[in-house]
Structure 1
Amino acid sequence: MKFEWMPFRIKNIFKDGKTVNYHSIIIVLSIIFAIFFSFYSILKAYTLNAYAWDLGLYSQAFYSSLHGQLFYSNLLGESYLAEHFSPFMFALLGVFYIYPNPYILLIIQAVFLSFATIPLYYISLHIFSRIKEKYPENIKNPALYSFIIASAFLLSPLTESPIYFDFHLMIFLPFFYFMAIYFYIKNRMAWNIVFLALIVSLHASFVFIVVMTLIMEMMISRYYFKESGEQTKKMAYLFITSLIVLLIYYTAAGYLKGDIAHSQSILLFASGATGSASRSITGLVLTFFLHPYRFMTYIIANYQIKLLFLVLAFLAVDFAFYRFPIGLIPAIPYLVYAMTSSYIPYYFIGYQYSMMFIPMIFVAAVFGISKMMEFKPTPSIKTKRAARNLKNTMLVIAVFAIAAFIVVSPISPVSVEPSGIHNIVNDSAGYSAERNHFVYSLENNISMNSSLVTGNNIYPLFYKDLNATAFPYNNISSTSVHFKYLIADLNDSQTYTRNRHNISLANLALEYMNSGSYGILAEGYGVIALELHYTGKPLIFNPLNVSYSSKEFDHTNGKVYGPIPDKNMSSFQKLENLGKNVYSGNTTYILPGNYSISVYLNSSYKIPASGINITILDNGNVTLYRINSSSYRLNGETLTFNLNSTEMHTGVTYVFTGIPSINGMSIIQDSV
């Protein structure tokens, strides 16, 4: 198998001293982005910003396979293959065997995503060079325009979207898709089929993407390349044969999933979409015809976010695909899957689902741009117009790609994304770093394979514990379930997330702590570890020391109350929280212990004759403590009082009556 792009000499940036070698530059760019994506992903995981779903799940699935349980994860309660039939997992298992660490998955992901630009570059180069042979005045530098297309793909927010979020098999789809199309246009159909098969190996439902890709290839042969009837017949035979094979594979995958899951019911032709009118394709069709109003409610659900997502995708190629809509046929499964769902992550930056869409947009755009160039050389005004249109399109693509990268990319130092690299770097220093070190120190104090429940962000550290599970997406609906260990990060908003079926980790921690059956194994930096029947002193203890600024309190009618959650949150952060279904309530807490609380008053403030009353509320409505003039001390502009809590409380609000405003508040824990 010969690849045009395999030979590479980094010194050969210029072919002859003058002509730019874009082949070498795109390889260098791919290497650079692979390094930065890897660094970002590993740092995100190290700073406890990775999650049980999905880095912890995949890590445990591979780890369990090396220890006799094929892709088992306690998060699922079964093999991963029973949830998603993905034979490609076996290919990655060999890599995980050599280096059994979650970080290797993140590195592989970064490499495949970054190097998907190379086959895209050669797809573009082949198509544009073909146009140059026919209309040399319309497109003078195919390599440059191919480089712009490939770079724009790499810089696109929808391409980089999954880098924000752990590890996923879907990340391999762009590379496999581009390779399949590359070999198709080179008329090397055996390799085309190999890479289409690799797409199917990522997820059984990707058979629909492959079927649509084969349809697209047939139509390209007929209407773009205008091949002979004999060649069209060969493509038709290939399509029919592939369709039969794919149907057999998809049916077998369904039965194998059921067998692995020990289930008697097998759902075939399922979309698998969350929040959809129906989880099956036939159900969607029936809903469309029999209940059109209900169908439309799902179409228009979150329509602003859907439109934003589509505009970001289309602007990345300056809407060039409209000249060749055939290229969008492989995107139909995604559009049906996502646009008929109310589940925001399907069409939101920061998730993996864009991988089923953005590669198709770029391939369609390449063919669309080539159609733009198909003007006959006379009259000359049309030739000039074609060249001018091409330059304008490439300028828009390049400018949008650079601007989008600067504003949204996870590795941009000025990204507005709350999960951008600048914020992740901040999490590796100061208070956050101390919290991280505290959590890592817990590993040595938790017995291996003991029953453990923890939060979404802590679970990846315990992926080797096959009896560990995590909130918020489990099936724990009652506090009567007793684990040997509980570890809760009260700084993490998902600790407080619950749904109609499950309680939250905070609920469970409260019940455990206040039941008397659990003791504090460790406490510090807002993280608490409980052990069943533990009676000793905490093995690790770091007293709480937090401060709140005046901006985190509301001042109204002579009262001050707070801290107020999300009071200073940006609109972009609010949108991201909406997409991630993040808990937006009060995350202030009090753990058992003695506290010294200081409130900083304004210098011009005079205490009224009635004094100051301080009320501490649990979840905004239950009074925990009342502090009056006999209980607080005033030293200059600082009001101080002590608090002794024997229980754990979350959602704590402080209300100050008789104070029009404050300059801030600090809480220092003295002992536990």
Structure 2
Amino acid sequence: MMEENNFWGEKIEKLLRKTMLKLKFSEWLIIAMTIIYSVVFSYYTIMRHYSFRSNAWDLGILVQSIASAAQGRLFTNNVELYYSPTGSYFGVHFAPILFLTIPFFYLIPKVETILVLQSIVLALGAIPIYLLSDFYFNNKFAALMIAVTYLLNPHLQGINWYDFHTQAFFPLMIISAIYFFKRKKYWMFFLFIVLSLSTMEQSVPLVALLIPQCMVDTIIEYKKSNSKRKWIHIFALLSLFTIIATWMLISTYVKNTINPNPPMELKAVGNYRILGIEDPVEIPLRALLYPDLALKALRFDLPYKILYIVSIFAPNCFISLLSPLTLLPAFLWIFMASLSNWPPYYQLGYQYSAFTVPFVTMATIESLKKIIRNRNNENNKEKLLLKMTALLLIVGTLLSLCTSPLSFIYEPGCYTYFRDYGVSMPSLLEKKVLELLSEIPMNATILTTPTIFPHISTNIGAYVIPPLDAISKRLFESHIKYLKKIEFDYILISYFWDKNEAEFIYRNFLANNSKYGLFVKAPGLELYKRHYNREPLKITIRLTHRELFKAESSVVVEDPSSTSGTVILLRASKEAGRYAWYGPYITLSPGTYTVRFRIKVDSLPSGKILKLDVWSNSLKTEIVSVDLYGDYFIRPLIWHIFTLTFSLSERLSEIEFRGLEVTSNVSVFLDYVEIEPH
């Protein structure tokens, strides 16, 4: 047995060496770029997740579905039971591509595994782009530049940024399918067409729109081929028809079997409210029969839609428009998105860009081929090709610097044009919450809010409260009734995220409910345990610029002497009485608290410098305060800690820890606000 293992080990080693020796310099470069992209986006999407910027919709849904599948269930989750009572994700979306994730998750059952896998899958799309470009132009350097431009595409990076979605598999699969079709490797073409269809039911009409392009290619090949090979091209085209039709039947059958009575809300007709449809299949006919409604729908958020369309074609300098046949699937999605009133369809930073990126990139390759075809000799063709691909790379780089989720331009929490772009690292508070979550038993049943849910979604006993305004009142009320029947081991609420959902859970599941006792008490964070009646574990938290709100005149700056590395700074001004910071509007349970403000100032006037207070915004009442004078500080630019203590006899909401009434001509720095419960 040992000899047999050594034999196969040597065979594999020889094969790898042989393959590696055959690789050209440009091929090593594209592999390196793919690895770099995967590593960079894996790291920053994980940091984004650790910073509590992920959500039950959709990271939590998919991770819990995969976790259940790794335990032998059919991708069940507890997030959308109001849509699919069986809990199976396939009752909502038919996405068998998820089966490919199971081995990876089984080996490393963590949320991070899924985020890394998504980054790798998106990066791997550059490989078939490189191969397709090299096949078309027989120029590896030009192929390399096209593939790198693909990796720089803001829409591709936007898919990567927002949680995890099965659509992320679509670019790799559909580009690979087209590559193998062009190479006439039809069995591989069929395989990747099936994989493309398996990403999401929305992919079916997009894949179907490949048929015109495939028909044109088939006719050309039919005329060129000898009589013995003619039937192969016809067979490939007919097989494509058959695969798509069969997939539609299978998809419909599986969804109807798992979820025979889906609610009307599942059809997402609200996303086309202006057009007034009852089913998404009505969109083209409705737009044709009611042009006035179509025009009204088109005008909704028109500037954003124009920006979206421009952003699709700009990374490729609009030359992809020279190949409209290849762009047909992308045109279909743009048409659907333009008539919608739901921003995720027509904004950067969402998974739906997966339905345009591959086709625009492939159309760009087709267009480049058309452009250089008119040149007289091969030397001129090669020069023009290299100039054009270099231009694409330069434009792609510039656009990526401005519109990448990693761009320095954006700060987390901004949704104006894109979905919450900007790099972030977990704050002191977030690290503390992550530590607490790691202590909750994996086999416990637990109810929590949407932002916390992804961090416990590997637990198939985790449940989440739906966003209060996200689904219909009818579905929401029925789902709450269902949740109230469950005896949860733990209920976790936080007022740093999902304040409304946290308050809803407290009022409907915890208030006046003797079954649950406060197990962990932290300011703005409460963990309740069933049948617990002892003293809670008390946790001190620190709030930094990430949780507090800086006043209009304040800025966030780096300060190596601070605990977190960054501070809130209100610079000196002639104006007096200014706010420096406020917030974060959390809820505190009854008890005694000590608050510590870590502050420094750049000068020491003789009078009052600023006021610190604890304020209840809900009652418009000051709970405790202190005025700080110049002689309270030892010397300028040295950190000082000032303490306030207060007691609450009842639960209070919207509590702030403020720095205000700042005097003129003094700069005030805040490192953190620490709140300790007693």
TM-score interval w.r.t. the shorter chain? 0.7 to 0.9
- Secondary structure of the structure 1 residue equivalent to 2:326: helix
- Secondary structure of the structure 1 residue equivalent to 2:109: coil
Match of 1:433 among 414, 431, 434: 431
2: CA distance between counterparts of 1:479 and 1:265? 16
| Cα shift at 1:405 | 3.7
2: CA distance between counterparts of 1:26 and 1:461? 36
Q: 1:550 to 1:459 in 2, by over 3 A?
A: closer
- Secondary structure of the structure 2 residue equivalent to 1:311: helix
| Cα shift at 1:560 | 5.8
Q: Identity across aligned pairs (percent)?
A: 20
Q: 1:335 to 1:507 in 2, by over 3 A?
A: same
1:612-640 CA distances to partner (integer Å, 9 max, x unpaired)?
99893435xx434466xxx8566657697
> Residue type matched to 1:287 in 2?
R
| Cα shift at 1:399 | 1.0
Q: 1:539 to 1:247 in 2, by over 3 A?
A: same
Question: 456-465 vs 590-599, which deviates more?
Answer: 590-599
Quote the residue 2:114 is aligned against. 105
Q: 1:591 to 1:559 in 2, by over 3 A?
A: farther
Alignment pair present for 1:490 and 2:495: yes
Match of 1:418 among 409, 412, 422: 412
| Cα shift at 1:29 | 2.0
Q: CA RMSD in A?
A: 4.4
Match of 2:35 among 9, 31, 34: 31
Question: 194-203 vs 32-41, which deviates more?
Answer: 32-41
Q: Which runs of structure 2 are paired with 1:219-618 in the superposition (5 Å)? A: 219-222=216-219, 238-240=236-238, 242-263=240-261, 274-275=271-272, 277=275, 278=277, 280-375=279-374, 377=376, 390-410=385-405, 414=408, 416=410, 418=412, 423-424=423-424, 426-427=425-426, 430-441=428-439, 443-444=440-441, 448-472=443-467, 476=476, 482=484, 484=488, 485-492=490-497, 495-496=498-499, 504-509=501-506, 515=512, 517=514, 518-524=516-522, 526-532=524-530, 534-543=532-541, 551=551, 563=581, 587-596=585-594, 616-618=615-617
Aligned residues: 604
Quote the residue 2:57 is aligned against. 53
Q: 1:39 to 1:233 in 2, by over 3 A?
A: same
> Residue type matched to 2:337 in 1?
A
2: CA distance between counterparts of 1:59 and 1:43? 17
- Secondary structure of the structure 2 residue equivalent to 1:203: coil
2: CA distance between counterparts of 1:388 and 1:235? 34
1: CA distance between counterparts of 2:508 and 2:262? 38
1:104-127 CA distances to partner (integer Å, 9 max, x unpaired)?
333332222212111111111111
Residues 452 and 486 in structure 1, CA contact (< 8 A), matched pair in contact too: yes
- Structure 2: which 5+ runs fail to align? 1-14, 82-86, 414-419, 555-569, 633-641
Quote the residue 2:648 is aligned against. 645
Question: 473-482 vs 169-178, which deviates more?
Answer: 473-482
Quote the residue 1:134 is aligned against. none
- Secondary structure of the structure 2 residue equivalent to 1:465: coil
Match of 1:65 among 64, 69, 77: 69
| Cα shift at 1:80 | 0.6
| Cα shift at 1:60 | 1.6
Q: 1:68 to 1:373 in 2, by over 3 A?
A: closer
Residues 597 and 667 in structure 1, CA contact (< 8 A), matched pair in contact too: yes
Quote the residue 1:85 is aligned against. 94
> Residue type matched to 1:551 in 2?
A
Residues 605 and 630 in structure 2, CA contact (< 8 A), matched pair in contact too: no
Q: TM-score, normalised by structure 1?
A: 0.76
| Cα shift at 1:281 | 4.2
1:79-115 CA distances to partner (integer Å, 9 max, x unpaired)?
0110111222334334434443333333332222212
1: CA distance between counterparts of 2:224 and 2:299? 41
Quote the residue 1:201 is aligned against. 198
Quote the residue 2:141 is aligned against. 144
Alignment pair present for 1:211 and 2:215: no
Q: 1:557 to 1:334 in 2, by over 3 A?
A: same
Q: 1:417 to 1:272 in 2, by over 3 A?
A: farther
- Secondary structure of the structure 2 residue equivalent to 1:487: strand
| Cα shift at 1:182 | 1.0
> Residue type matched to 1:671 in 2?
P
Match of 1:115 among 108, 124, 131: 124
2: CA distance between counterparts of 1:106 and 1:310? 28
2: CA distance between counterparts of 1:229 and 1:307? 48
| Cα shift at 1:214 | 2.0
- Secondary structure of the structure 2 residue equivalent to 1:298: helix
Residues 612 and 660 in structure 2, CA contact (< 8 A), matched pair in contact too: yes
> Residue type matched to 1:121 in 2?
Y
1: CA distance between counterparts of 2:105 and 2:658? 53
- Secondary structure of the structure 2 residue equivalent to 1:74: coil
2: CA distance between counterparts of 1:39 and 1:655? 34
1: CA distance between counterparts of 2:507 and 2:663? 33
> Residue type matched to 2:63 in 1?
S
2: CA distance between counterparts of 1:171 and 1:455? 22
- Secondary structure of the structure 2 residue equivalent to 1:349: coil
Q: 1:313 to 1:295 in 2, by over 3 A?
A: same
Residues 596 and 675 in structure 2, CA contact (< 8 A), matched pair in contact too: no
Quote the residue 1:175 is aligned against. 172
